[in-house]
């Protein structure tokens, strides 16, 4: 495992809910990341964020880690859940609430 992949693995496994995003939760730097944060804020679950703009290795590594080409990416209990479109669909259907409640 490369060094970047090891660091990503530690972040994914060490946090119950972690969002890899552009910018911070307070200052998202992309509309898709902003939408992902808004959904998690609305659900009032504690979550960690990782700003990929601060770390080029993670920015590229995370795309290989999950075989997913875009950011944001949400992981819950070590599992890749999806990007902001999937988060929105799961939020609208109530599945995201179920998933996060199960983790609380």
6 vs 85, which CB is nearer to other proteins?
85
46 vs 79, which CB is nearer to other proteins?
79
Binding test (CB under 8 A) with other proteins, winner from 67, 94, 102, 104: 67
Tell me: does residue 64 bind other proteins (CB under 8 A). no
Give the chain as a 3 state SS string.
Answer: CCHHHHHHHHHHHHCCEEEEECECCCCECCHHHHHHHHHHHHHCCCCEEEEHHHCHHHHHHHHHHCCCCCCCEEEECCEEEECHHHHHHHHHHCHHHHHHHHHC
How many residues make contact with other proteins (CB under 8 A)?
16
Residues near other proteins (CB under 8 A):
31-32, 63, 67-71, 80-83, 85-86, 89-90
């Amino acid at each position: 495992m490369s060094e970047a992949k090891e660091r990503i693995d530690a972040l994914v496994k060490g946090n119950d809910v972690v969002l890899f995003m552009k910018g911070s939760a307070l200052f998202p730097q992309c509309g898709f990341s902003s939408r992902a944060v808004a959904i998690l804020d609305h659900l009032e679950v504690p979550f960690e964020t990782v700003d990929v703009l601060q770390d080029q290795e993670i920015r590229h590594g995370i795309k290989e880690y999950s075989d997913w080409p875009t950011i944001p990416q949400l992981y819950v209990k070590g599992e890749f859940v999806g990007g902001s479109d999937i988060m929105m669909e799961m939020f609208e259907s109530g599945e995201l609430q179920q998933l996060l409640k199960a983790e609380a």
